[in-house]
Amino acid sequence: MFRAGLTCTSVAVACLLWATVTAAYEHSFQRWSGKKFWNQPDYTRLELASFEAASFKPVGNLNALTDTFTLLGHPAFPKYSVRIKQSDFCDGTVAAYTGYIDVEARHLFFYFFESRSDPDRDDVIFWTNGGPGGSSSMGLFMELGPCRVVNSTSVVYNKASWNANANIFFIDQPVDVGFSYAEHGEYVSTTEEAAKDIAAFVSIFFEHFSSFKGRALHMAGESYGGRYIPLFSSAIYDQNIELVKAGLTPINLTSAIIGTNGVTNRFTQITSYYDMQCTPASVEPITDISTCTRMKQAIPRCQKLMETSCIAGFDPIGCDEAIEVCRMEIQDPYWKSGMNVYDISKKCEGSLEETHCYPITKLIQQYLSQPHIRQKLGVDPSIPLDKPLSSHNVGLAFAGTLDGLHPSDLYVAALLERGVDVLIYAGTYDWICNWVGNERWTLALDWSGKEEFVSQSLREWKVNGEVAGMTRSAKGFTFATIDGAGHMVPYDKPWESLEMVNRWLKNRQL
Ligand SMILES: *[C@@H]1O[C@H](CO)[C@@H](O)[C@H](O)[C@H]1NC(C)=O
Ligand SMILES: *[C@@H]1O[C@H](CO)[C@@H](O)[C@H](O)[C@H]1NC(C)=O
């Protein structure tokens, strides 16, 4: 049953690609046959263990850490611990820490950089790349981190890093991504499962480092982060109930920041490929009239099929067919064009499998393969030196559970209803998770601020007097575009994206 787009399955950095999903159906038929698998799992709430307050000794201050691992645990989370060390690298002007969140046999790697401004008071950003299966080292070393890789052995200071005014985490998740690993063949195949570990990690960290208690936390990510971040944020929000019951300090979850996201609502996204290629929504139409006409004709059929088979009820055979029709008619013409799926204004440099169209991704992999860098970071020696940045296995495992077809917009609405602000941003040149589809689902989102949000027209937002993009905002919900940026917005437009984040942190306004 499977077909031309198979190469896409290794492109873990993309939004979940249709090809991956389609490939997984056969697999999931076998795995799930006879089960009502559209019934989406809830993220598993952690049961906090009861404990004596006196039995917990927080580390207190990050400065107390050394360049060898300190082990952090918490009696409320008996199955979890955190290994953390000082790792002087990348930024050079602020303290940096790396380590692992250990969840029995599962081990998640993270980087933490202090703010360049006021680390004792500034907010905290948690960043994850997408995929599923993409390593956050891509976000760190080519997008928004304190340094950028310039060749296989060197990095340079990034003046536009998002730690300008915030403390920031980068995490390789779920297990098998980047430097994260698992024993006994354990793996994670749903966002719900991944969310549980993230929520526990955040609590352990904030409990141990008391200077962070109550500090504003912003959950951020791009691409498949459009699925991760709404669920991770919701898991943290819901866990607060348990934390309060246990006498612990709740996490001050303040906002969710989601970049170039195409999966929060996949079904509104799919039709937007027509707008990108066949209208001047981003660049002048790049696809021929004959193909555009076919695409346009396929849209109502595609929407109807998805509505019937994927949304109103879930019929795996029907939904498979719907997605196949949509993929062939609406996505294939661009895939076959050799253009960069992350940037409609460019050809793909290298191949998707080799470079994700960006040769710098190879340099990141090479840079992180250096034994002295691995040692400095405390990377587990079991991680092979040639391990790719993206985990193919994770991409397949998530596809196998149809994780990307579960709606995430309901979580976004629920967060907004609870006063957690949400920023959705998109580069205008991104094709795969394009701004048109993002705008569409933000307008369609059902929440109590909908009317006010929808009634706003898009207005320009500016950086140094120049138009940086368009934005619309109401009641804590903001949509923004960044002109001339592809999928990896901070890579293409570092200053505009830093300004966007700084303004968002400061007063949730662009
Ligand atoms: C990498 O870049 C650094 C800094 O620009 C330079 O000193 C070094 O020679 C370069 N190494 C290679 C292998 O190109
Ligand atoms: C949460 O963070 C916000 C923004 O910094 C701050 O205004 C608020 O007081 C904090 N809330 C708590 C409960 O600490």
**Domain membership flag for residue 248:** yes
Residue 5 has pLDDT above 90, yes or no: no
d(CA 481, CA 469): 5
pLDDT at 16: 38
Q: Are 286 and 275 in contact (CB under 8 A)?
A: no
Residue 459 has pLDDT above 90, yes or no: yes
Which tokens sit at 107? 């081990």
* Residue 188 C-alpha from the chain's centroid: 16
Distance 286 CA to ligand 2 centre (A): 47
Task: Report the pLDDT averaged over residues 109-132.
Answer: 96
**Domain membership flag for residue 256:** yes
Q: What is the DSSP string of 2-39?
A: --GGGGGGG-TTSSPPHHHHHHHHHHHHHHHTTS-TTS
What H or E segment, with its residue span, contains residue 50? none
Q: How many CB atoms lie within 10 A of CB 172?
A: 26
Nearest CA to ligand 2 atom 4: 216
Q: Examine the residue annotation and report whether 430 is marked as an active-site residue of this protein.
A: yes
Active-site hit among 275, 320, 421, 430? 430
* Residue 411 C-alpha from the chain's centroid: 15
Task: Report the pLDDT averaged over residues 487-501.
Answer: 97
pLDDT at 262: 66
Q: Enumerate residues lining ligand 2, CB below 6 A.
A: 214, 216, 252, 254
> Which atom of ligand 2 approaches the CA of 216 most closely?
2
pLDDT 10s digits, 367-397: 999 999 999 999 999 999 999 989 999 999 9
Distance 455 CA to ligand 2 centre (A): 30
Q: Are 344 and 286 in contact (CB under 8 A)?
A: yes
* Nearest ligand atom owner, CA of 155: 1
Q: What is the DSSP string of 424-488?
A: EEEETT-STT-HHHHHHHHHH--STTHHHHHHSPPEEEEETTEEEEEEEEETTEEEEEETT--SS
Residue 12 has pLDDT above 60, yes or no: no
pLDDT at 41: 61
pLDDT 10s digits, 228-261: 999 999 999 999 999 998 888 999 999 999 998 7
Distance 473 CA to ligand 2 centre (A): 21
**Domain membership flag for residue 286:** no
pLDDT 10s digits, 130-189: 989 999 999 999 999 999 999 999 999 999 999 999 999 999 999 999 999 999 888 999
Q: How many CB atoms lie within 10 A of CB 188?
A: 27
**Domain membership flag for residue 7:** no
Q: Are 404 and 16 in contact (CB under 8 A)?
A: yes
Distance 146 CA to ligand 2 centre (A): 26
Count of domains for the chain: 1
Torsion sign, CA atoms 335, 132, 97, 233 = positive
Q: Examine the residue annotation and report whether 137 is marked as an active-site residue of this protein.
A: no
The CATH number of residue 196's host domain is 3.40.50.1820
Place of tokens 């689902």: 441
Lowest-confidence range among 107-116, 196-205, 341-350, 380-389? 196-205
Give the residue among 465, 466, 470 at the shortest CA–CA distance from 442: 470
**Domain membership flag for residue 125:** yes
Please give the single-letter amino acid code of residue 430. Answer: D
Active-site hit among 320, 487, 492, 497? 487
Task: Report the pLDDT averaged over residues 427-443.
Answer: 94
What is the overall mean pLDDT for the chain? 87
Residue 31 has pLDDT above 70, yes or no: no
pLDDT at 57: 75
Which tokens sit at 332? 């294939």
**Domain membership flag for residue 333:** no
Q: Enumerate residues lining ligand 1, CB below 6 A.
A: 150-151, 153-154
pLDDT 10s digits, 328-371: 888 888 988 889 999 999 999 988 888 899 999 999 999 999 99
Alpha-carbon dihedral of residues 115, 231, 497, 124, nearest 10 degrees?
-10
pLDDT at 224: 94
Q: What is the DSSP string of 158-224?
A: -TT-GGGSEEEEEEE-STTSTT-EESTT----SHHHHHHHHHHHHHHHHHHSGGGTT-EEEEEEETT
Distance 151 CA to ligand 1 centre (A): 6
Please give the single-letter amino acid code of residue 81. Answer: S
Active-site hit among 136, 180, 189, 223? 223
Q: How many CB atoms lie within 10 A of CB 503?
A: 17
* Nearest ligand atom owner, CA of 244: 2
Task: Report the pLDDT averaged over residues 103-108.
Answer: 90
Residue 470 has pLDDT above 90, yes or no: yes
Give the residue among 463, 412, 402, 414 at the shortest CA–CA distance from 442: 412
**Domain membership flag for residue 290:** no
Nearest CA to ligand 1 atom 8: 154
**Which residue out of 148, 149, 152, 153 has the highest number of ligand 1 atoms within 8 Å of its CB and is therefore the one to mutate?**
153
Q: Examine the residue annotation and report whether 332 is marked as an active-site residue of this protein.
A: no
**Domain membership flag for residue 5:** no
- Burial of 183: CB neighbours in 10 Å, binned 0-12, 13-18, 19+: exposed
d(CA 78, CA 80): 6
Q: How many CB atoms lie within 10 A of CB 297?
A: 11
Nearest CA to ligand 2 atom 2: 216
Distance 349 CA to ligand 1 centre (A): 22
Helix then strand count (H, E) for the chain reads 18, 17
Q: Domain range spanning residue 96? A: 53-266+405-507
Torsion sign, CA atoms 41, 392, 390, 338 = negative
pLDDT at 490: 97
Task: Report the pLDDT averaged over residues 32-46.
Answer: 53
| Percent with pLDDT over 90 in the chain | 63
Task: Report the pLDDT averaged over residues 121-137.
Answer: 95
d(CA 58, CA 107): 21
Nearest CA to ligand 2 atom 3: 216
